[in-house]
Structure 1
Amino acid sequence: MGSEPEPVSRLIHAVRPGARVERLELFFDLVFVFAFFTITRSAVRDLTAGGLLQGLLIIALLWWSWCAHTVVANRVRLGDGIAPIAVFASMAAVFVIALSIPQAFRNQPGGLYEPLVFALGYLTVRTMHLALHWYAARDDPPLRRQLRRLALSMLVATALLVLSGLVPEYVGGRHQTLLKFTFWILAVAVEYGVGMAIGVWGWAVASAGHWVERFELIIIVAFGETIIGIGVGSELTGESITWITVLASVLDIVILAILWWTYFDVVGPAAQSTMHGTHGPARVALARDAYVYLHLPMVTGLIALALGGELQLRHLGTVGVDLGAPQPDSAVPLTYSGVALYLLGLIGFQLRALGTLLWSRLVAVALLVASIPVADRLPALAALGILATVCVLLQATEFVALRQSRQVLHEAIRRERAAHERRETQWRREPYR
């Protein structure tokens, strides 16, 4: 949601309508892979309602800071001029935030006060992006007014995080935890609430292709974290591989592959076409609603799936395990609800971007939620098999129902890709001027 591209300056270069994602932006995403992974590692040590709520709140603030980065990247070429300095400073801050995640709600004696480390790291990341955006908008008074509102919300949210780290320490007792969560929830509410309340006035999406590609890539990053989380968290590296481990691993990949397919086969490309065909305030509203807000449950769902998946794979990977033994607590609720949450986010994304609804996905969500009490009493391999079966049936149903639409869409994508490649080839053959 950057403003309309401005002339290139000596210090920054503006994004143009046909811009694509730069390599530096992908490099920046690597620290978020580590942050997502750290959230999973922290949550697995505290599988309580409070521990999971902590993870959700941390994900929400990390996601908001990543979106702020993407907003700037849609206006300023982050690989040129002074922009890389801000990117590298933000990466360092996110890395420090990730290290502080396990103790973001309670301090570990013997080092820095980690709740404040998290708060100051968050302030640093947001400040870097706002400062760069402020400079880029120096000739755009309406956008600067919007940035002042965002800066105020950032300061209020950071103050609430600081209060969460300091005030409860002087309260003690059973009210301490409640007070911490209250401050955190208010911080998240301020950021997201102001982001929605300030509206679309003064904003614009300079490159629809860049915007869509950034969010598609962060979804792939979340898929990557899920695979790493399940594999590393299972603690099977270096252990003997059994047929049970192989089968469970294949089922996990089947589930992830189908979830990937539900986004990138039809809905994602169709939403990209909609973004290209929408302009002005309507494009900004679409970018905000469909991507900033409705991609968050998808990322959260994948992280929950990673958490539950590692519990199941670790249990099944034990040599000589009794297949009938009760599976780990929370494994089924996390895996099933993670897939359901991902699909719900995707349903909302499709409804907002395309105005259409696939009932097969709603049925799959309802079936998954209803199956949790039953699957939770089954052996782990059976529960994982049921989840994979629901995903396979979903994909098979949509493959048949959307066959004609898929053919039309994919043919249009192939023609567009071929035309783009021809233009690029022709341009590169022209003599350098």
Structure 2
Amino acid sequence: MIGTKRVRFQPVAEGATVTQLELFFDLVLVFAFTMVTGLVADDTSAKNVVRALLVLAVMWWVWIAYAWLGNVVRADEGFTRVAMFVAMGGAFLAALTIPEAFRDMDGGWFGPLVFAIAYLLVRLVHLVVFWMASTEDSQLRGQVVKWGLGSIAIGTTLLVIAATTTGRVQIGLWIAAIVGDMLWTMFAGEDWRVNSAAHFAERHGLIVIVALGESIVSIGIGVAGLPISWPIALASMLGLAVSGLLWWAYFDVAALSVEHELKRAEGERQIKIARNCYTYWHFPMIVGIIALSLGLKKVLYYVGDSSHHTLTDALYGIPLFALYGGVVLYLIALVGFKHYATRTVTVPRVVAAVLLLALTPLACSLPALVSLAVLCAVLVGLILWETLRYAQPRDEIRHGAHAG
């Protein structure tokens, strides 16, 4: 690019890494994840869980939009930098309004509409910047226009309408907005651009870190204000170990394997890996981690608050399903993530997921602390088995010629 265009946009170079501004942008998602966890922790009814999932999907779509944009033009240069800050403001306003996304509180602005308009602002800024950045790329410009028209018409318009409704109609419109937006994105074409496979993979790895960070924060929140004791210390270490083992399951081999395939792929195949492995398969990973966060928060509350619970009390219902089911969802999503790119199925992870499902009814009758210990033990077994059983291919992926 020449002249004033160089000031406005700077293309992302092959091999580029994530910018500091993108990391700053992610702080909004840190807050959003905390708000979603808090939303469910205060009300674990099935209806509220559905609402939390829908809010999380919307905030995920906000993040995904700017992850793709930041792979085409540098987020911290020229006009894009200003747009990122505007989008960050809109996303933060939406996150602040998460408790009112479905029901307005007394006083102040009308919460559901504020959330919808804030989301609309973020999406419009993204669309305008992408359209301007594709001036000299007619193929990308066509893709942006085709995707943008349908995405805005479905995803944001339906949410604005939903803000004026209540009950099942409102939930139905939210579902239609999110599912319709995701399906439109899938079938709108493969004329996007992945300028830097390394940046794209790193960007999505960092959002996994952000979500895992929320699971650790939930441990602390669960015992906030309570005196330290051996049950709290033990439960905290077990919760931290679970988060660490999930980190290992993603970053040790799976993330590297898919990144290598993304780098090798070309044309439509590369775009499909980027979209299906990262945009779609990462979403259930994030949902699983946030569900785990809820479970960990409840376990720590059970073992720490002696005035309402004893150490023999069992975790049950949605909190227990979140604890075990969140990890199951994460593992299955990891299997799908790797399978799409490499065409291989990581069987031990499927076995571990099935085992955890089978153990869930038993966990209902176990003390909460024991249920957490069992979960941790299964993950330790999985990681040890994979590390020892697949030592040679693991070493090749991590340190061989492909790792360069």
Give, in whole Å, the separation in 1 of the partners of 2:400 and 2:123. 39
TM-score by length of 1: 0.89
Q: Does 1:89 align with 2:86?
A: yes
Q: Does 1:309 align with 2:306?
A: no
Larger Rg belongs to: 1
How many residues matched? 400
Pairing partner for 2:59 from 30, 48, 62: 62
Conserved in 1, the CA contact under 8 Å of 2:140 and 2:193? no
Give, in whole Å, the separation in 1 of the partners of 2:362 and 2:350. 19
Q: Does 1:119 align with 2:106?
A: no
User: How many Å apart are 1:239 and its aligned residue?
Assistant: 2.3
- The match for 2:31 is 34
Give, in whole Å, the separation in 2 of the partners of 1:136 and 1:368. 47
SS in 1 for 2:6: coil
- The match for 1:212 is 201
Conserved in 2, the CA contact under 8 Å of 1:333 and 1:376? no
Conserved in 2, the CA contact under 8 Å of 1:204 and 1:281? no
Give, in whole Å, the separation in 2 of the partners of 1:163 and 1:100. 17
**How is 1:124-273 mapped onto 2 (pairs within 5 angstroms)?**
124-152=121-149, 153-166=151-164, 168=165, 176-200=166-190, 202-232=191-221, 234=222, 236-273=223-260
SS in 2 for 1:185: helix
- CA offset digits 1:149-195 (Å, max 9, x no partner): 332222332221122111x3xxxxxxx41101110000001210110
- CA offset digits 1:209-250 (Å, max 9, x no partner): 111110011111111111112312x1x234211101111111
User: How many Å apart are 1:286 and its aligned residue?
Assistant: 0.6
Closer, same or farther: CA 217–415 of 1 in aligned 2, 3 Å: closer
- CA offset digits 1:97-144 (Å, max 9, x no partner): 011101101111211111111111111111111111111111223322
Q: Does 1:23 align with 2:47?
A: no
Give, in whole Å, the separation in 1 of the partners of 2:208 and 2:125. 24
Give, in whole Å, the separation in 2 of the partners of 1:264 and 1:237. 30
Q: What is the RMSD computed on CA atoms of the aligned residues?
A: 1.6
Report the residue type matching 1:14 in the other structure.
P
User: How many Å apart are 1:376 and its aligned residue?
Assistant: 1.3
Report the residue type matching 1:292 in the other structure.
T
User: How many Å apart are 1:319 and its aligned residue?
Assistant: 4.2
User: How many Å apart are 1:253 and its aligned residue?
Assistant: 1.2
Pairing partner for 1:391 from 379, 385, 394: 379
User: How many Å apart are 1:145 and its aligned residue?
Assistant: 2.3
Stretches of structure 1 that go unaligned for 5 or more consecutive residues are 1-5, 169-175, 417-433
- The match for 1:366 is 354
Conserved in 1, the CA contact under 8 Å of 2:397 and 2:403? no
User: How many Å apart are 1:11 and its aligned residue?
Assistant: 1.2
Instruction: Report the more deviating stretch, 250-259 or 155-164.
Output: 155-164
Pairing partner for 2:339 from 351, 356, 363: 351
TM-score by length of 2: 0.96
- The match for 2:103 is 106
Conserved in 2, the CA contact under 8 Å of 1:312 and 1:328? no
Report the residue type matching 2:244 in the other structure.
A
- CA offset digits 1:303-324 (Å, max 9, x no partner): 0000111011011012475222
Stretches of structure 2 that go unaligned for 5 or more consecutive residues are none
Conserved in 1, the CA contact under 8 Å of 2:284 and 2:333? yes
Report the residue type matching 2:334 in the other structure.
L
Give, in whole Å, the separation in 2 of the partners of 1:294 and 1:397. 24
Give, in whole Å, the separation in 2 of the partners of 1:247 and 1:356. 37
- CA offset digits 1:318-338 (Å, max 9, x no partner): 247522224364221110000
Conserved in 1, the CA contact under 8 Å of 2:315 and 2:363? no
User: How many Å apart are 1:60 and its aligned residue?
Assistant: 1.1
